[in-house]
Structure 1
């Protein structure tokens, strides 16, 4: 395998640990989130992140504890000799003291060391303790290969940061693989899932959570949505991972509310919500989402922008990030024979077609926040509706399947090779191979879909398959009971490794501790594998 040897990055993270020491998990289980007093200089106790890194650019994120000017310094080494300085934005209350700085003109395929300083707006000489991190830019050639991870679903079903459990320990296993980037497939928070101090496990033992005021109820206000994102950053494992590994972030439903769709009105019987307009909730969630992640198409503090985008990772890989929330039609029985809007909306579908046709990458990963052939029901309002694409009818495409059939047909007839679908959402891990000879709809080329997750949430039994596109479940690991806690296992992430010499793409489905459960090797340019 020709993947380049990875330099150690632990030493460059020491500044992150110094700056975030006040946020270390409390020793007493079930305790409230730690507070820290303001000192004389701005502090970045929530760590740093990088996102949407390409061969020559990337975004650096930070949050201050007060108004501050963001300054980023980059260097080829951790000594920061001959550092390049980037003047960032003024961080203030309008963005919850968060901000991003765009780095450009970076060398391809190189390790970039960076540190973030926060300066007093009234006295630029007064800066807080620098917070350091590192990332690799995408390679301009094939030689180095590409390795990345994906998963989703964090702090769901009431399973939050448990100090007795070590917090979000899955991030330790992911960091040990030293990937080029991490693709989060959605449900970065559970805005509709309050976190209680304790929960009783089936064996009678007690799960204990770190708690905060914003996580005590469902999120409705902008402050509550922001507090949901801050909650996860209380975990030291996640902050360390963020400082080491750049991210590509998409969203799904729980950033707003379970199974939401545009135009939805929450039932009057749901007493948890005083705000009944999902569109109002989604707008607030979207704003907080853009504030707490470095996303190139969703600028911090801006109302415009979009989640769907393509991230080009050199000649071996393009990542197409979908948004199956913002433009979907209403959840229903999903059995209509005509469905121009579907789950993507017409504009996003046409964008995806164009970008897939333009791509010259060997592999085209379609990052889907929901699976294609797994039946995901929606009983939120007490109705037998469909939440994802497949609706359980194994026959010809209906409802949202019509739009996916159109896309698959397009990929075949344009001779687009190397498409692989990655997703999370269903809280188990599996591998599905889609084959027209098994399908009711046959005008497509075979492809793979891989599912991984959750990161730290309840695990659930395997979803039923819909035969419209002929999926065969080659591998699955899932519990037989619903909402199994992280203490019971069934927490997963996936790995994709593309060899620079052969172009082979290897998928590994891994458990929480990094144990490999399943491996599938795909050959470049080959149809029908």
Structure 2
């Protein structure tokens, strides 16, 4: 590091008190003790992550406890022989100490090891290491996991059970990629130190200051993401598996929509648009996503993953109309620009499978008091409300084969098949929607299916009571396995321990023929 760079780092000063608090959070004693570190050197406080991976690049993320320079090394060899070094951004209070770097010029379809350090001009942090696989170019066996809903409904990191163990179960599946379907945090869900279950057992939570109230300030939103990365299972998974991440409502507040004014006593800031901007900044600071890849510089974007897969990551929050809107009139869930982008992308795609990563389900009724939170409006007959926009999309992609929708949101797992033969609106082609969650939150469901698009619940695994705790076995994640030779797609809906609850293999269709 040059003397000029060292001086510029020293001039940035210490991190803010709030950011220091996030960095100083201690891991629970039940977890493996952290190795002794020199306190006169930078510390990477919340692990490392990779995301938005392509055939020749990936985003690498970390956070340091003081102003310092992020440095990333990439190698095919876990011993880091012949490693390539990338000098990243300064980690400063402006981003709460976080930073990310797109490492480029990488070989396609290759498992690579990465090592991250932080330099402050005087000392270098202890390194943290991880791995990711770049996107293959041709026909390749591929394993993709998806889920959502993390630390919701009062269920936080419980050291008595080893923390968020579904992440360890996912890591054991050795996936190439993880699709996070939203509700990555619960900014509106404060935690208490203990929760008494109906049978008298007691659930214990680790609680931090930022998780003791609803998030309103930027530092409080940052603290939501910092909390989840206290869990060793989460950190280990994030270091080993690249992700494509989207947001849903709880990154901001429950069931939010643009322009909403909250009528909730726990909030002093009632304007959702103000909260949204703070949450959006924290979300981008703490997730390994690349805003430059997004069409609007925010969330929605697409990725080609080899010969067989293309993934379309949606944003069903930023452009939706009010939950209180008249459900008999046409509404919006994607907005005109995103809807056209999705239609154009699906029609142009040459991938065998077109995966739509949605943060809300299509046919499940998700109420918001007397209003509607999701797409389905609970009214039989022709599409209306937000359904009208989805009907336009489905009509415009009716000649596109092998489109599969993935989501989480409703806190149970299900397989839905949509067919015009059962639908009030019939001008579309049949397709599958797979739902899987929660990853670590209260379990709910099942929700009512709206008949407009002819859904059939082929499989459902839901709890017997609302807000069933993670102890009861209703945590879920989904798995896609693509056979490189045949292109067949096998879907498994798994429980939080990794056991398959339901499985189906879909064979690629030719245009004009639908399953």
- Scaled to the shorter chain, the TM-score interval is over 0.9
User: In the TM superposition, what whole-angstrom CA distance separates every residue of 1:362-412 from its partner, at most 9, and x where no partner exists?
Assistant: 111000000000000001xxxx10000101112110010000000000001
Correspondence for 1:292: 286
Shift of 1:324: 0.4
Correspondence for 1:392: 378
State which of 192, 195, 208 in structure 2 corresponds to 1:196: 192
SS in 2 for 1:288: helix
Across the aligned residues of Structure 1 and Structure 2, the Cα RMSD in angstroms comes to 2.0
User: In the TM superposition, what whole-angstrom CA distance separates every residue of 1:83-118 from its partner, at most 9, and x where no partner exists?
Assistant: 101010000000001000101111011011110011
Conserved? CA contact 1:68–1:118, under 8 Å:
yes
Residue 329 of structure 2 corresponds to residue 337 of structure 1: yes
Superposition misfits of 4+ residues, deviation over 6 angstroms: none
Correspondence for 2:393: 407
1:426-445 matches, within 5 Å, as 426-445=410-429
Using the size of structure 1 for normalisation, the TM-score is 0.90
User: In the TM superposition, what whole-angstrom CA distance separates every residue of 1:305-334 from its partner, at most 9, and x where no partner exists?
Assistant: 210000111111111000000011111265
User: In the TM superposition, what whole-angstrom CA distance separates every residue of 1:125-175 from its partner, at most 9, and x where no partner exists?
Assistant: x21111100011111110x22111000000000000000111000011100
Correspondence for 1:314: 306
Correspondence for 1:128: 125
1:69-218 matches, within 5 Å, as 69-120=69-120, 122-123=121-122, 126-142=123-139, 144-218=140-214
State which of 362, 380, 401 in structure 2 corresponds to 1:372: 362
Query: Which range moves more in the overlay, 443-452 or 349-358?
Result: 349-358
User: In the TM superposition, what whole-angstrom CA distance separates every residue of 1:396-450 from its partner, at most 9, and x where no partner exists?
Assistant: 10010000000000001xx211110000000000000001000000000000000
Correspondence for 2:11: none
Correspondence for 1:273: 267
Partners of 1:161 and 1:488 lie apart in 2 by: 16
Partners of 1:204 and 1:102 lie apart in 2 by: 49
Conserved? CA contact 1:371–1:388, under 8 Å:
yes
Conserved? CA contact 2:30–2:162, under 8 Å:
no
Conserved? CA contact 1:151–1:183, under 8 Å:
yes
Partners of 2:485 and 2:232 lie apart in 1 by: 37
State which of 290, 294, 297 in structure 2 corresponds to 1:305: 297
Partners of 2:286 and 2:400 lie apart in 1 by: 35
State which of 420, 429, 432 in structure 1 corresponds to 2:404: 420
Shift of 1:23: 4.8
Conserved? CA contact 1:23–1:236, under 8 Å:
no
Partners of 2:327 and 2:223 lie apart in 1 by: 39
Using the size of structure 2 for normalisation, the TM-score is 0.92
Unaligned runs of 5+ in 1: 1-19
Partners of 2:462 and 2:480 lie apart in 1 by: 21
Equivalenced residues, count: 489
Conserved? CA contact 1:109–1:138, under 8 Å:
yes
SS in 2 for 1:214: helix
SS in 1 for 2:397: helix
State which of 323, 327, 336 in structure 1 corresponds to 2:319: 327
Partners of 2:350 and 2:289 lie apart in 1 by: 23
Change (3 A) 1:186 1:349: same
Partners of 2:509 and 2:141 lie apart in 1 by: 16
Shift of 1:21: 12
Conserved? CA contact 1:334–1:400, under 8 Å:
no
Partners of 2:455 and 2:257 lie apart in 1 by: 26
Correspondence for 1:446: 430
